[in-house]
Amino acid sequence: MNSHRAVCNRLLWMQDSFGLTPDECVLQKTPFSFDVSVWEFFWPLMTGARLVLARPGGHRDSHYLAELIAAQQISTLHFVPSMLRVFLQEPRLEERCGSVTRVICSGEALTFDIQQRFFARFSAAHLYNMYGPTEAAIDVTAWECYRDTADPVVPIGRPIANTKIYILDEHMHPAPLEVPGELYIGGVAVGCGYHNRPRLTAERFLPDPFTREAGARIYRTGDLACWRTDGHIEYLGRTDFQVKVHGFRIEPGEIEATVQQHPTVRAAAVVARPDSTGDTRLVAYVVPNTDAVDSLPTTDEPVQEWGSIYDLYYRQDAPTADPLFNTAGWISSYTGQQMPEAEIRTWLHDTLVPVQAQQPRRVYEIGCGTGMLLFALAGGCSEYWASDPAGGAIAYVRQHLAQAQLAPEQVRLLVRPADDFSDIPQGYFDTLIINSVVHYFPTADYLLHVLRQAFKALAPGGMVLVGDVRNMHLLRAFHTSVQLFQAAPDLPIHQLRHRVQTQLLNEEQLTIDPAFFAALHHTDPQIARVEIRLKRSPYPTEHTRFRYNALLYKAADPATGPAVDTGVHWRHWQEDELTIDGLRAWLTQEQPRAAGVTDIFNARVLTDAIAVNLLLRPPHTPTTTAELRRQISGTNQRGIDPDRLRDMGESLGYTVQVGWSPNDAACFDVLFTRPDSTPPPLPIADPQRANRSGSGRAMPTIRSNRY
């Protein structure tokens, strides 16, 4: 609780010292839960200067701030030093921000380095370092920075009007000049205490031993400081563990205590430390409690969220030309717009190919949504069971059964989450579909649980299609690709990197390493074969570039199952310097029964993978988004679209499998087999590499990049 008197004192001192005039303009950008916002609002209002409000959140976006300063001719503004450091990386500040005459820093230590960078970019503006805790009405000391100084320390100056600063030792005696002590604040600025926290108030707000004034108190800051011989104060750090991150006061101990409440954590330590870009981050180190991890109950929360997706998308009153092909909810992450129908039709066709190859008669589809697959498949089936956690989606499908000429007894509709297999017959279905919903599952364990049940429901020889799985190894590439697409050309690279990082941190959907499915194959004897398929489509959508389908086959009767041909002749795209023409010539002349090519640069994601690498390696990064775009443009010419090899192989009479390279997520592998042979599935995970036969050469691992 601060007094009106203290705030007025602070504002009047400011006007007395700086003399803001009506022809000046102050930027208000600090969120109003921070005390700095008080002077940003009231100082211009008191003096008749112009007040410009930044958009909410704008204080974090230095590109936006520079534009706003230029457009509004801002003269005075505030920065916490860490944000000033970021802002100073903005291009062309000299031309864009010539109106700025006064920059006020407070909230964290202002370093010599930031001061120097400021003066290098702003030739005429003044820079101030103010210090003070919220408990004492905003700021209690002030310092004007010198342009030409070799002093490596930026002091916090002297007390402002009607304010006293004491630097005391542990016996509450004033510390001698240049000797560190704890900083205490006295005078009109001292607040009234913490609301409803009498004990804490008594600990921090003490009777002032240096005055006879009745009721006067001093505030104990916890800051270490010393008086310099020139009469100014130097800030030295904290007496406790409190840290400042982007101007926020943080007690790492509070975070440690919260992290430790989690059952899987045995111990935790939290520190504030610079990341690779020099920005301060909180990092929590934990010692896991391994016993608890195994016994953790699975949460059903995100599944409920999945249920509400229907409300978000499908129930929109968007008219659909064909209700049996309801494309509501197909929103591009790049444009935020509905995806074109042709792209979705191609996607649907590609998804249906392996299902139709199975000649399905009894299907169970988990997560049928508005029935795009159901309406395409159910007509040819004797039974089509479909479930979805969204009652609205199931009602939609039921409503349109007649239009799709489906009899109600042919289609059984269930409202339930994916893991509810009650009343689902075992060993019954020839095809089970879990398409484009796995990313809504809460954990990989949940997926595993669903797949185990799905396998029980499957008849021998049956197949589970897990469609549209987001590739974990390409998650960063995906977010980079979207952010790069959306960014303005002059967006500084550090902000692009920050946006990607934020997307990664906020990512809530499940992404799966293709090796997860390979591991299933090794641990569950019921699973006879696992295939990972890259999508076939001429459209470079997020579905075709960053997602894949997994096909899991249940063992048929072993006596009747065909033996798999294992004699694959393997070649390496990069080391063997292959080209499409060279490969075609080889397949035509040699006519191998089974030929595989590994580590072919994937034109669909290569550019994004290169962008990821450039963004992650600071010394070589370009400085703006436009420069990054220039650097990566054309790099995908080194890549091959998987469909080109698929088309080429098929034109020569081969059956073609295309999957991700286990070595490098920006590459793919391809396997050509004669239709009369039974090909092995393409290896999915590294350990299988060693088993490859053919060229007789062990496959070297190029790199194990994830993007």
Assess 133 for contact with ligand AMP (CB under 6 A): yes
The distance of Cα 332 from the centroid of its chain, to the nearest Å, equals: 17
CB-closest chain residue to ligand AMP: 134
647: exposed, middle or buried (Cβ count in 10 Å: 0-12, 13-18, 19+): middle
Assess 316 for contact with ligand AMP (CB under 6 A): no
Spell out the alpha helix ranges (H) of 314-390. 341-357, 372-377
Other beta carbons within 10 Å of 58:
15
Assess 113 for contact with ligand AMP (CB under 6 A): no
Assess 2 for contact with ligand AMP (CB under 6 A): no
Assess 697 for contact with ligand AMP (CB under 6 A): no
Q: Could you tell me which of 349, 329, 348 has the C-alpha nearest to residue 339? A: 329
Strand, coil or helix: what is 148? coil
Would you say 130 or 551 has its CB closer to ligand AMP? 130
- Does residue 161 contact residue 240 with C-beta atoms inside 8 Å? no
| The one among 30, 115, 129, 537 contacting ligand AMP by CB under 6 A | 129
Cα(460)–Cα(556) distance, rounded to whole angstroms?
5
Site string for ligand AMP, 73-112 (x = CB under 6 A): ---------------------------------xxxxx--
Would you say 249 or 638 has its CB closer to ligand AMP? 249
Assess 131 for contact with ligand AMP (CB under 6 A): yes
DSSP 432-478: EEEES-GGGSS-HHHHHHHHHHHHHHEEEEEEEEEEEEEBGGGHHHH
| The one among 15, 17, 21, 134 contacting ligand AMP by CB under 6 A | 134
Assess 128 for contact with ligand AMP (CB under 6 A): no
Minimum separation from the CB atom of position 64 to ligand AMP (A) = 24
Minimum separation from the CB atom of position 44 to ligand AMP (A) = 21
Minimum separation from the CB atom of position 219 to ligand AMP (A) = 10
Would you say 235 or 672 has its CB closer to ligand AMP? 235
Would you say 134 or 316 has its CB closer to ligand AMP? 134
Q: Tokens 């995806």: give the residue.
A: 339
Residues 6+ apart with CB under 8 A from 210: 164, 166, 186, 218
Minimum separation from the CB atom of position 81 to ligand AMP (A) = 8
**Structural tokens at position 626:** 């436009």
Count how many Cα atoms sit within 13 Å of the Cα of residue 340 in the half-sphere of its side chain. 6
- Does residue 454 contact residue 464 with C-beta atoms inside 8 Å? yes
Q: Tokens 């669903």: give the residue.
A: 450
Minimum separation from the CB atom of position 249 to ligand AMP (A) = 5
Q: Could you tell me which of 199, 65, 186, 63 has the C-alpha nearest to residue 135? A: 186
Minimum separation from the CB atom of position 131 to ligand AMP (A) = 4
**Structural tokens at position 359:** 């000649």
Minimum separation from the CB atom of position 516 to ligand AMP (A) = 45
Residues 140-169 that bind ligand AMP (CB under 6 A): 156
Would you say 156 or 699 has its CB closer to ligand AMP? 156
Minimum separation from the CB atom of position 254 to ligand AMP (A) = 15
Beta bridge partners of 669: 659
Minimum separation from the CB atom of position 38 to ligand AMP (A) = 11
Would you say 114 or 377 has its CB closer to ligand AMP? 114
Query: Which stretch in 129-137, 381-389, 495-503, 668-676 sits in contact with ligand AMP by CB under 6 A?
Result: 129-137
Query: Which stretch in 126-134, 432-440, 521-529, 594-602 sits in contact with ligand AMP by CB under 6 A?
Result: 126-134
Minimum separation from the CB atom of position 106 to ligand AMP (A) = 5
DSSP, res 420: -
Minimum separation from the CB atom of position 205 to ligand AMP (A) = 14
Cα(257)–Cα(265) distance, rounded to whole angstroms?
11
Would you say 138 or 368 has its CB closer to ligand AMP? 138
Would you say 205 or 546 has its CB closer to ligand AMP? 205
461: exposed, middle or buried (Cβ count in 10 Å: 0-12, 13-18, 19+): middle
Assess 249 for contact with ligand AMP (CB under 6 A): yes
**Structural tokens at position 160:** 């402002």
By 3-state DSSP, what share of the chain in percent is helix, strand and coil, each rounded to 5?
Answer: 35, 25, 40
Minimum separation from the CB atom of position 79 to ligand AMP (A) = 11
The distance of Cα 347 from the centroid of its chain, to the nearest Å, equals: 26
Would you say 83 or 671 has its CB closer to ligand AMP? 83
Would you say 220 or 547 has its CB closer to ligand AMP? 220
Would you say 40 or 223 has its CB closer to ligand AMP? 223
Minimum separation from the CB atom of position 257 to ligand AMP (A) = 21
Would you say 110 or 532 has its CB closer to ligand AMP? 110
- Does residue 25 contact residue 72 with C-beta atoms inside 8 Å? yes
Minimum separation from the CB atom of position 251 to ligand AMP (A) = 12
Cα(276)–Cα(617) distance, rounded to whole angstroms?
9
| The one among 60, 232, 244, 315 contacting ligand AMP by CB under 6 A | 244
Strand, coil or helix: what is 671? strand
Would you say 200 or 318 has its CB closer to ligand AMP? 200
Minimum separation from the CB atom of position 160 to ligand AMP (A) = 13
Ramachandran region, residue 491 (left: φ > 0; alpha: ψ -120 to 50; beta: rest): beta
**Structural tokens at position 451:** 């797949």
**Structural tokens at position 496:** 């692009």
Across the beta sheet with 102-105, the strand order is 50-53, 25-28, 76-79, 102-105, 126-131, 141-144, 158-159
Residues 259-278 that bind ligand AMP (CB under 6 A): none
Assess 235 for contact with ligand AMP (CB under 6 A): yes
Spell out the alpha helix ranges (H) of 464-562. 475-486, 493-506, 514-523, 542-546
Q: Total residues at the site for ligand AMP (CB under 6 A)?
A: 16
Site string for ligand AMP, 189-228 (x = CB under 6 A): --------------------------------x-x-----
Ramachandran region, residue 371 (left: φ > 0; alpha: ψ -120 to 50; beta: rest): left
Site string for ligand AMP, 637-666 (x = CB under 6 A): ------------------------------
**Sites of contact with ligand AMP (CB under 6 A):** 106-110, 129-131, 133-134, 156, 221, 223, 235, 244, 249
